[in-house]
C-alpha cells in the first residue's frame, strides 16, 4: 500500500515538473523569437551630405507706386468742371480740373495795364533826361538837375520791372485755375465735386503711376550680413513677390537700395525692391511678401526627421560599424524646410538613423537599410 502511494505521488510530481519545464522552454522560445524578430527589423539610415544649397526667407512688404502724388488746388475758387473720373487713366499734361478763373483773368489785365503805364512813364522820363543833358551842356541848368532826371528815369524803369513781375505772377495764378496731370497715371478718389468752393491747398485727388512699383521690406541684421557676404549688396539681387492672395507676382523684382542704418529698436534694416507692373495689378498701398533666396556653400545637411531634442539640445542616433545604435549630440547652424544645416557632431562617413527613432534606444542592434541623402532630399522636395 505504501509503495503504491509513493509511486502515485512520484509520478504526479514528475508530471508537474515536466509541465513546468515545458512552460519555461515555451517562454524562452517566445523571448528568443522576439529578439530575433527585433534584430531582423530593418531601419532606414543615411549619411550626411555636403553640398551647396539655397534656402528662402519671407518678409512682409509694403507696396508703393513708382510715383504717387497729391493734387492740391493752388488758388482759391469754385470748381467749374471736372474733366476726368475716378479710376481713369490719364496722360501727362491732361486737363483734370477747371477752377473759376474770371477774377484771375482780371488780375492779368490789370497787371498788363500797370506795365503799359510804367513803360509810358519811363519813356517820358527818358525824353526829359535827354532835354536836361542838352541844357547842361549849354550851362543853362546845373548838373544836379541832370542827376534828378536820371534818378526819375531809374525809378520808372524799376516800376517797369515790378509791373512785369506782377504780370507774370497774375498769369501764373491764372494758369493754376487749370489743374493738369504732372505725369501719366491713374486718378484716385475725387474729394470735391463740381461747384465746390475750395481754398488754396485743398486736396483734389491723388495720381498714381503703377507701371512699376516699389516693395519696401525689413531684413534682420543677420540676413543682411549674409547677403553682404555673398556679395549681393551692390548688384541687382533678384527677389520674388507673393501677393495678398498668396499668388506669385508674374514679374521678378530686383533689390535696388538698402537704407544706411539699422533700426536699433527692431534690429532690422530696410530694403527696397522694384517690380514691373504693366497690367497695373499692384496698387499703391498693397501688401505682400518678399521671397529672398540665400545661398550656402558646402553645407552639411541631414533630415529634420532624423533628429530629436533633449533639454534644448539636438541629438541623432548614429549606427556604428557593428550596427549598434549610439546617441550623438550635434549642433545646427540653420533650420531650413525639412533639413538641418549641421555645424559640429557629424561627418559624411557617419550613418544616422533616418526613420524609426521612436522605436529604438541606445545600444539596440538593428539591420540598417541605406538611403542616399540625394534621394531623401528629392523626396522631401515633393512635400
The CATH number of the domain where 89 resides is what?
2.40.50.100
Q: What is the DSSP letter of 176?
A: T
Claim to verify: residue 192 and residue 226 sit in the same structural domain: no
Say how far apart CA 210 and CA 89 lie, in whole Å.
11
Sheet hosting strand 77-82, strand order edge to edge: 178-180, 95-99, 77-82, 197-198
pTM assigned to the model:
0.67
Say how far apart CA 341 and CA 339 lie, in whole Å.
7
Claim to verify: residue 325 and residue 367 sit in the same structural domain: yes
Say how far apart CA 139 and CA 124 lie, in whole Å.
23
Claim to verify: residue 195 and residue 223 sit in the same structural domain: no
Burial (CB < 10 A; 0-12, 13-18, 19+), residue 340, is buried
Claim to verify: residue 318 and residue 288 sit in the same structural domain: no
Claim to verify: residue 135 and residue 184 sit in the same structural domain: no
Claim to verify: residue 270 and residue 237 sit in the same structural domain: yes
Q: Mapping DSSP to helix (H, G, I), strand (E, B) and coil, where does residue 68 land?
A: strand
Q: Determine contact, residues 355/55, Cβ cutoff 8 Å.
A: no
Q: Determine contact, residues 337/54, Cβ cutoff 8 Å.
A: no
Domain-located, residue 152: yes
Claim to verify: residue 215 and residue 196 sit in the same structural domain: no
Say how far apart CA 314 and CA 309 lie, in whole Å.
5
- Rounded (to 5) percent helix, strand, coil in the chain: 35, 40, 30
Domain-located, residue 5: no
pLDDT at 241: 96
Burial (CB < 10 A; 0-12, 13-18, 19+), residue 119, is middle
Say how far apart CA 159 and CA 181 lie, in whole Å.
36
For residue 74, what are the contacts with CB-CB under 8 A and spacing of at least 6? 176, 200, 201
Q: What is the DSSP letter of 233?
A: S
Residue that has been written with the C-alpha cell 533639413 in this structure: 339
Claim to verify: residue 92 and residue 110 sit in the same structural domain: no
Q: What is the DSSP letter of 305?
A: G
CA-wise closest residue to 357 among 312, 310, 325, 313: 325
Domain-located, residue 32: no
For residue 247, what are the contacts with CB-CB under 8 A and spacing of at least 6? none
Exposure on the CB side of residue 95, measured as CA atoms within 13 A? 11
Domain-located, residue 305: yes
Say how far apart CA 278 and CA 66 lie, in whole Å.
12
- At 290, phi and psi to the nearest 5? -95, 130
Say how far apart CA 127 and CA 138 lie, in whole Å.
17
Which residues of the chain are under the pLDDT cut of 50?
1-10, 12, 14-21, 23-39, 232-235
Query: 189 is in which domain, residue-wise?
Result: 75-99+177-201
CA-wise closest residue to 150 among 136, 138, 140, 162: 136
Range list of H helices, 188-237:
221-229
Claim to verify: residue 122 and residue 221 sit in the same structural domain: no
Domain-located, residue 23: no
pLDDT at 230: 64
* Beta-strand pair 237-243/253-258: antiparallel
Q: Mapping DSSP to helix (H, G, I), strand (E, B) and coil, where does residue 189 land?
A: coil
Claim to verify: residue 233 and residue 278 sit in the same structural domain: yes
Domain-located, residue 309: yes
Query: In angstroms, what is the C-alpha Rg of the chain?
Result: 46
Exposure on the CB side of residue 45, measured as CA atoms within 13 A? 26
Say how far apart CA 28 and CA 35 lie, in whole Å.
11
Q: Classify residue 227 as left (phi > 0), alpha (psi -120 to 50) or beta.
A: alpha
Amino acid at each position: 500500500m505504501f509503495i503504491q502511494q509513493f509511486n502515485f505521488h512520484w509520478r504526479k510530481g514528475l508530471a508537474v515538473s515536466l509541465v513546468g519545464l515545458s512552460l519555461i522552454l515555451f517562454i524562452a522560445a517566445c523571448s528568443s523569437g522576439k529578439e530575433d524578430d527585433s534584430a531582423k527589423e530593418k531601419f532606414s539610415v543615411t549619411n550626411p551630405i555636403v553640398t551647396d544649397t539655397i534656402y528662402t526667407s519671407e518678409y512682409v512688404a509694403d507696396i508703393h507706386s513708382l510715383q504717387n502724388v497729391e493734387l492740391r488746388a493752388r488758388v482759391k475758387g469754385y470748381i467749374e468742371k471736372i474733366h476726368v473720373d475716378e479710376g481713369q487713366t490719364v496722360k501727362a499734361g491732361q486737363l483734370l480740373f477747371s477752377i473759376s478763373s474770371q477774377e484771375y483773368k482780371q488780375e492779368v489785365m490789370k497787371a498788363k495795364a500797370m506795365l503799359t503805364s510804367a513803360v509810358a512813364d519811363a519813356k517820358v522820363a527818358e525824353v526829359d533826361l535827354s532835354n536836361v543833358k542838352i541844357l547842361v551842356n549849354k550851362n543853362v541848368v546845373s548838373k544836379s538837375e541832370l542827376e534828378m532826371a536820371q534818378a526819375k528815369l531809374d525809378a520808372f524803369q524799376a516800376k517797369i520791372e515790378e509791373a512785369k513781375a506782377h504780370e507774370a505772377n497774375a498769369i501764373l495764378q491764372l494758369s493754376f485755375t487749370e489743374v493738369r496731370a504732372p505725369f501719366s497715371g491713374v486718378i484716385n478718389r475725387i474729394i470735391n465735386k463740381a461747384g465746390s468752393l475750395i481754398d488754396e491747398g485743398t486736396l483734389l485727388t491723388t495720381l498714381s503711376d503703377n507701371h512699376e512699383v516699389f516693395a519696401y521690406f525689413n531684413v534682420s541684421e543677420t540676413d543682411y550680413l549674409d547677403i553682404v557676404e555673398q556679395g549681393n549688396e551692390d548688384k541687382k539681387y533678384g527677389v520674388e513677390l507673393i501677393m495678398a492672395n498668396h499668388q506669385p507676382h508674374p514679374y521678378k523684382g530686383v533689390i535696388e537700395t538698402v537704407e544706411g542704418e539699422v533700426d536699433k529698436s527692431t534690429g532690422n534694416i530696410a530694403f527696397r525692391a522694384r517690380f514691373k507692373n504693366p497690367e497695373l495689378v499692384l496698387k499703391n498701398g498693397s501688401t505682400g511678401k518678399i521671397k529672398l533666396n540665400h545661398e550656402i556653400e558646402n553645407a552639411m545637411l541631414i533630415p529634420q526627421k532624423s533628429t530629436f531634442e533633449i533639454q534644448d539640445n539636438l541629438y541623432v542616433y548614429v549606427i556604428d560599424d557593428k550596427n549598434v545604435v549610439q546617441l550623438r549630440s550635434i549642433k545646427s547652424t540653420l533650420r531650413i524646410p525639412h533639413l538641418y544645416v549641421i555645424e559640429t557632431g557629424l561627418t559624411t562617413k557617419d550613418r544616422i538613423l533616418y526613420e524609426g527613432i521612436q522605436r529604438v534606444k541606445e545600444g539596440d542592434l538593428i539591420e540598417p537599410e541605406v538611403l542616399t541623402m540625394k534621394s531623401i532630399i528629392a523626396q522631401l522636395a515633393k512635400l
